[in-house]
Amino acid sequence: MARVTTTGARTPFIAGNWKLNLDHLQSIAFVQKLAWSLKDARLDFNEVEVAVFPPFTDLRSVQTLISADKLPLKFGAQDLSEHDSGAYTGEISGAFLKALDCQYVIIGHSERRTLHNEGDDVVAAKTAAAVRHGLVPVVCVGETAEDLEKHGPSAVPVAQLKAAIAGLTAGTDIVVAYEPVWAIGSGQAATPEQAEQVAVQLRAVVADLLGQEAADATRILYGGSVKSGNIAGFMREPNVDGALVGGASLDIPEFSSIIRFQKHVGV
């Protein structure tokens, strides 16, 4: 599916970040059930793009299932190496992800920035590696509670996005995920107004660095305690084009309901 529809509108993108959950056998059962649930609900996959981001060891199983059953779901990895090959024990190359038909890869999630000390330089190198291998990077940015108090909501995400994409050529296809660190897994989501305010700033960064056309086509997601009860508010905002969902993406009825936001949102 194209990132923009025939009418030029950005295709909404709902992504499930499984984090360190579900092994490869569980992933097969999960993706099958999710696909059935969306089919039962008669989801129009032209109206929304759905992607799951399982752990590395699940990717081959998910790929095989999606391709054998021709499921209208996308998938990607949660991380990749900035290197293409070589003596990097434990790392996964973008080339390997591409060979598994991954379309997307999450980069710079706050858990990697914090728990694995990934700074802006590493995030930029990984973003470049993704693009080099034909993967669309889902670049995550977001402020901590302390940043929010000191600098407001947009300063840190804007600086992080600039650093991540400064080296890319104009027109590069990326997805941006605005995820306030304090909202992730906390049950306390940002308000739709705040998400919109930051999304506008982030789109301006994309326009500056990748051009207006890329900025118009780039999906900007909100992430952080998204659930079926609050997705509607985010999706009503003109610059929020989807969601990166953690915890709620592991619950099929809940994730399915988030994906079907159009049914209960009235947008």
The residue from 59, 246, 255, 259 that contacts ligand PGA (CB under 6 A) is 246
Helices (H) and strands (E) in the chain, counts: 12, 8
Query: Which alpha helices (DSSP H) does the chain contain, by range?
Result: 24-40, 59-68, 94-99, 110-115, 120-132, 145-151, 155-165, 192-210, 212-217, 231-235, 252-259, 261-265
223 binds ligand PGA (CB under 6 A): yes
257 binds ligand PGA (CB under 6 A): no
245 binds ligand PGA (CB under 6 A): yes
Min dist. Cβ of residue 50 to ligand PGA (A)? 15
**Residues contacting ligand PGA: total by CB under 6 A:** 13
225 binds ligand PGA (CB under 6 A): yes
Stretch of 38-46, 97-105, 124-132, 218-226 lying at the interface with ligand PGA (CB under 6 A) = 218-226
Task: State the greatest distance between any 2 C-alpha atoms of the chain, in Å, as a whole number.
Answer: 52
CB burial of residue 238 (10 Å; 0-12, 13-18, 19+)? exposed
Lookup result for tokens 């021709």 = 70
184 binds ligand PGA (CB under 6 A): yes
Stretch of 1-9, 178-186, 199-207, 208-216 lying at the interface with ligand PGA (CB under 6 A) = 178-186
Cβ neighbors of 83 (< 8 A, separation 6 or more) are: 91, 93, 129
242 binds ligand PGA (CB under 6 A): no
Element (H, E) at 4: none
The residue from 3, 11, 13, 17 that contacts ligand PGA (CB under 6 A) is 17
Catalytic residue among 109, 111, 118, 133: 109
Residues forming contacts to ligand PGA in the complex (CB under 6 A) are 17, 179, 184-185, 223-226, 244-248
